[in-house]
Structure formats: structure tokens, C-alpha cells
Amino acid sequence: MQKLEVFGANKLRGQIKISGSKNASLPILAATLLTNKKIILKNLPKVRDIETMLSLLQSLGSEIKFDKNRTIINNFQQNKKFASYNLVKTMRAGILVLGPLLAKHKSAKVSLPGGCAIGTRPVDIHLKALSKLGVKYKIDQGYVIASAPKGLKGNKIKFPKISVGATENLIIAANFARGITILSNCAIEPEIKDLVNFLNEMGCNIKWISKRKIKIVGVSEIREISYKVMFDRIEAGTYLIAAAVTEGNLKISNIIPEILKTEIDVLKRLGSKIIIKKKELQIIGNKKIKSTKIKTSPYPGFPTDLQAQIMVLLCKANKSSVIKEDIFENRFMHVAELNRMGAKILITGNKAVIQGNINFAPAELMATDLRASVSLILAALTAKGKSVINRIYHLDRGYENIEKKLKKVGAKIRRIN
Ligand code: UD1
């Protein structure tokens, strides 16, 4: 099993080019199932979750080719409606094929994503909302077996809770529903806006009618398009924090700074200097880091996907800080490992109290989920000496070329078998 060896402590300096967004690519890939035509996607990140989604599409009958940095998806013969447990178990976003399969074929059998280290992560909101479009479903031996023999029918649906995945599944499915669908209490993550832009370019008729409300008029035709997926804001945020925590000086390029407003505000409040350019941010870390209180919340709040990373920075603050995790019930798996490196973090329920003024010590560590693994790298980058991070397959799910990108800006990091 591969591991990462990190030798701290170096200040990171230079430029990091941000890859395409994993979380925007996944629903866009699922949405290609709506059509029988050719779709060309640019800027898909080369990460494991995207490979898994492409394998899932292939298992459903899509033909996929690569040409330089373009992914060409041909759905001329896409006719299967069965998403197996093997492909959905490692990646919850597999459930996103349910909406488009039902919209196109009127029936589908899709594995439930199952448990996950960061919480139970049910899909009840997806299923209840789809049933309001006329879908009948049952759960049998870990599979959702769903059908809408008369096709989907538009409706007014208010999500009981903000869910990124459920909003995406419904936005995709409703394009082939008869009449009009109004979705309210939607998630408004930039990746959802990217999905809507993609669908509208394909010929769909989707409009935001207020902050969290969207109107979808059903269509019957979809056209061939070529589309460039947005940048990965979580990757960008991770490298911004890497610069702050190593007191480095990094340019983070290939991004849209406005999308990172919350992260920029938090990092400035903690003491970093940030220079905002058109498609780039420059961050200059500060030795003195201020303590703060952060709570994770849906966009435009502070993202849960950066909670583990910001916690590493807060370990270096001048006083104690508090993080409240409001999205997932069990997303503090990194804390035990950070404490083994000398951090003093106390968890009570969904609250972490983080003592400041910590100098991390190197250690042998175990990654537990995607963002937890990257937080261990950040801590290891500041610890004088050699740290080893095991189970990095979690990391490979979502970070493209992480060691290459970090090495280029001065980190001593290598992958070993
Ligand atoms: C997406 C992101 C993930 C991010 C999360 C929150 C992708 C591929 N993944 O995950 O990186 O951390 O948004 O920003 O884009 N919930 C239910 N029932 C449901 C659906 C969700 O109870 O049917 C709960 C979840 O357990 C969680 C909360 O709602 O507590 C938010 O989950 P959701 O926004 O759906 O996250 P994902 O779409 O899975």
C-alpha cells in the first residue's frame, strides 16, 4: 500500500495551478446520461473519484475517449439502467446517476452508497424529492429500485434540509419532467451553479428565481456541447491554508477569487496577507496567527470540506479556537491523529476546542478520509523531521498530483510503495 513521506519544515513558495473541480465534474458527468449525443468535457481532474464515475458511466453503456485534456462522452448506445454496488460503494456521488437514468429510461436500479467514515450520509432527501416527480421506489437488498412508468411530472418541491447531492439529482432529473418544476431550499454551492450552466448550454431551461429557488421547464431535446468544468475551490482553499501554515508565499492560480470570498476573509482575519488578482490569489503567511470561532455551513458559509485543514492552522494560533461542525455528524476523524502529533484538541459533540501555540511533532499517521488525509499532510509540512502518512488512497480520490504540486513549491514529500 502506498504511503507519503513528508519532511518538514519548509516554507512553501511559488505558484500552484488549481485543477478542475471534482465536485462539479461528478454531477456534470452524471448529467451527460440525459443525452444520446456527444459531450466533450474539459478540465476534469485526474483523480480516483472521476475515474470511478467514468467507469460507472461505461458500465451503463457510455463510450468514453480521451483526447489530450478533453474527455469525450458518447451516449449513442447508452441503454443500461443498473449501477452496481461495486462502483457506488467507494463514492457517494454514484447516487447522482439515479435522477438522469429515471428521467431518460423511466426506471433504474442503483446501489445505495452505504456508510461512510464521516457519518451515515443517507439519501432519503433525494428519494423523497424524486417521488414528488412521480417516481415510485423501494429499497431491496441495498439497492434503490425505482420507476416512473408514465415519465416524470414537474412539481413544487421544498427540500427539508439543504443538500448538495439532492439538489443536483433533482435539477438533473427535472429537465425531462413534463411541465415546470420549482425547487426551493436548494444548495447554492458554486458547483451547482456550474451544473446549471452546463445543462443550460445543452439546451435545458433552468433559471434561478431567488437565492435558493430554481425553476426548471422540462425539455425534450438536448444538444451536443463542449464544456469546461470550473476550478476546484476546495483544492484552492487547501493550498491557501498550506501557505498560511508554513508561513509561505504562494500564488494560487487558475481560479475565480470571488468564489473563495469566505475562505479569503477567514485567512485574512487569522493574519495572512492576501493579494487578489483577476484569476489568481497571492497569500503571504504570518508567523502570528489569531484565534477564532468557525462554524461550517452550506455555501456561502465556511465549507465542511476545509474544516480539517483550517484546524491545523488554528493549532498554531495565539489562543484557543473553536470549530463547530454543522454539516456532518462525525467529521473529526483527523483529530486523534493531529493529537498524536502534539495538538491539543478536545471534542465535545460537534464542537472542537483547539488549543493554540502548538508545534507539531513528526509521526507515523493514518489517513481516514479525503480531507482528513490532507490535513495530516499540512501538519506534517510544519513538523521538523519525517512523518509518514498511510492509507493515502483516500487522498487520491480528490487531489490531483498533490505531491508534484507541493514539491514544486518547496515541500519535501515523496510517495513510497
Ligand atoms: C457534497 C460534497 C461533499 C461535501 C458536502 C457538503 C460532492 C460529490 N460531495 O456531498 O464534498 O462535504 O456536499 O458540502 O459534491 N443528508 C441527509 N439525507 C440526504 C442527503 C443528505 O440527511 O438524502 C445529510 C447528510 O448526511 C449531511 C447533510 O445532509 O449531513 C449534507 O449532505 P449533502 O449536502 O447532501 O452532501 P453530499 O451531496 O453527499
Q: How far, in Å, CA of 211 to CA of 208, rounded?
A: 7
C-alpha cell, 395: 487522498
Contact assessment for residue 231 and residue 254, using Cβ atoms and an 8 Å cutoff: yes
Specify the length of the chain in residues.
417
Q: Which residues pair with 138 in a beta bridge?
A: 145
Chain centre distance of CA 311? 18
Is ligand 1 within 6 A of the CB of residue 122? yes
Is ligand 1 within 6 A of the CB of residue 305? yes
Q: How far, in Å, CA of 174 to CA of 183, rounded?
A: 10
Is ligand 1 within 6 A of the CB of residue 233? no
Domain boundaries, the chain: 3-17+231-416, 25-228
Q: In testing the pocket of ligand 1, which one of 50, 120, 132, 164 has its CB within 8 Å of the most ligand atoms?
A: 164
- Kindly report whether the peptide bond that precedes residue 300 is cis, defined as omega within 30 degrees of 0: yes
Is ligand 1 within 6 A of the CB of residue 163? yes
Active site residues: 116
CB atoms within 10 A of CB 299: 18
Is ligand 1 within 6 A of the CB of residue 171? no
> What does 323-374 look like in DSSP terms, one character per residue?
EE--S-TT--HHHHHHHHTT--EEEETTEEEE-SS------EEE--SHHHHH
Sequence-distant (≥ 6) Cβ neighbours of residue 153 within 8 angstroms: 133, 134, 177, 178, 179
CATH of the structural domain 3-17+231-416, one choice from 3.65.10.10, 3.50.50.60, 3.20.20.120, 1.10.510.10:
3.65.10.10
C-alpha cell, 85: 454496488
- Ligand 1 closest atom vs CA 162: 34
What burial letters (b/e) apply to 174-205, b meaning 16+ CB within 10 Å?
bbbbeeebebeebbbbbbbebbbebbeebbbe
15 CA from centroid of ligand 1 (Å): 31
C-alpha cell, 211: 437565492
Most distant CA atoms of the chain, gap in Å: 64
> What are the φ/ψ torsions at residue 302 (nearest 5 degrees)?
-75, 130
Q: In testing the pocket of ligand 1, which one of 170, 327, 330, 331 has its CB within 8 Å of the most ligand atoms?
A: 327
Q: In testing the pocket of ligand 1, which one of 121, 128, 195, 234 has its CB within 8 Å of the most ligand atoms?
A: 121
Digit-by-digit pLDDT tens for the chain (417 residues) are 899 999 999 999 999 999 999 999 999 999 999 999 999 999 999 999 999 999 999 999 999 999 988 999 999 999 999 999 999 988 889 999 999 999 999 999 999 986 555 555 689 999 999 999 999 999 999 999 999 999 999 999 999 999 999 999 999 999 999 999 999 999 999 999 999 999 999 999 999 999 999 999 999 889 999 999 999 999 999 999 999 999 999 999 999 999 999 999 999 999 999 999 999 999 999 999 999 999 999 999 999 999 999 999 999 999 999 999 999 988 999 999 999 999 999 999 999 999 999 999 999 999 888 888 999 999 999 999 999 999 998 899 999 999 999 999 999 999 998
Is ligand 1 within 6 A of the CB of residue 118? no
Listed in order, strand segments (DSSP E) in 219-329 are 225-228, 249-253, 273-276, 280-284, 293-295, 321-324
Contact assessment for residue 81 and residue 109, using Cβ atoms and an 8 Å cutoff: yes
* Number of alpha carbons in the 13 Å side-chain half-sphere of residue 331: 21
C-alpha cell, 394: 483516500
Same fold, 3-17+231-416 and 25-228: yes
Pairing of β 273-276 and β 280-284: antiparallel
| Architecture per CATH, 25-228 | Alpha-beta prism (3.65)
Contact assessment for residue 255 and residue 234, using Cβ atoms and an 8 Å cutoff: no
Residue 96, pLDDT score:
97
